[in-house]
């Protein structure tokens, strides 16, 4: 009888250990997926932020250039093929 009790205790301990092992494995698997998704999102946001900063630098550089009278596009005229549009500030003091 004591041997039967020992086998049952051993079986219960084995089941508990297996369940704990399976729970740890599942947790690690999901954590890896979560970290991978977050890492991918952070990488994407970093790239998009850099692109946005470069675009703002390009716009700022265009605004700092002196405007040539010959390159301005008047209303109704078609711009030259490589000409950039002229930015006009609305509600400014002139």
Q: Is the separation of the CB atoms in 49 and 24 below 8 Å?
A: no
Distance CA(16)–CA(59), nearest Å, equals 64
46-74 residue pLDDT tens: 999 999 888 888 888 888 877 654 455 55
pLDDT score of 44 more than 90? yes
User: How far apart are the two ends of the chain, measured CA to CA in Å?
Assistant: 103
pLDDT value of position 20: 96
Which pLDDT score is estimated for 91? 72
Which string of b and e fits 55-84 if b means at least 16 CB within 10 Å?
eeeeeeeeeeeeeeeeeeeeeeeeeeeeee
Residue 37 has pLDDT above 90, yes or no: yes
Banded pLDDT at 2 (limits 50, 70, 90): confident
CA separation for the pair 51, 59 (Å, rounded): 12
Digit-coded pLDDT (tens) for 13-35: 999 999 999 999 999 999 999 99
């Amino acid at each position: 009888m004591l041997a039967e009790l020992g086998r049952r205790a051993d079986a219960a301990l084995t089941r508990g250990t297996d369940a704990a092992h399976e729970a740890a494995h599942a947790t690690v698997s999901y954590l890896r997926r979560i970290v991978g998704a977050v890492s991918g999102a952070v990488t994407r946001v970093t790239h998009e932020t850099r692109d946005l900063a470069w675009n703002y630098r390009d716009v700022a550089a265009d605004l700092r250039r002196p405007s040539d009278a010959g390159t301005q596009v008047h209303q109704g005229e078609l711009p030259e093929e490589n000409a950039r549009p002229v930015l006009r500030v609305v509600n400014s003091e002139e």
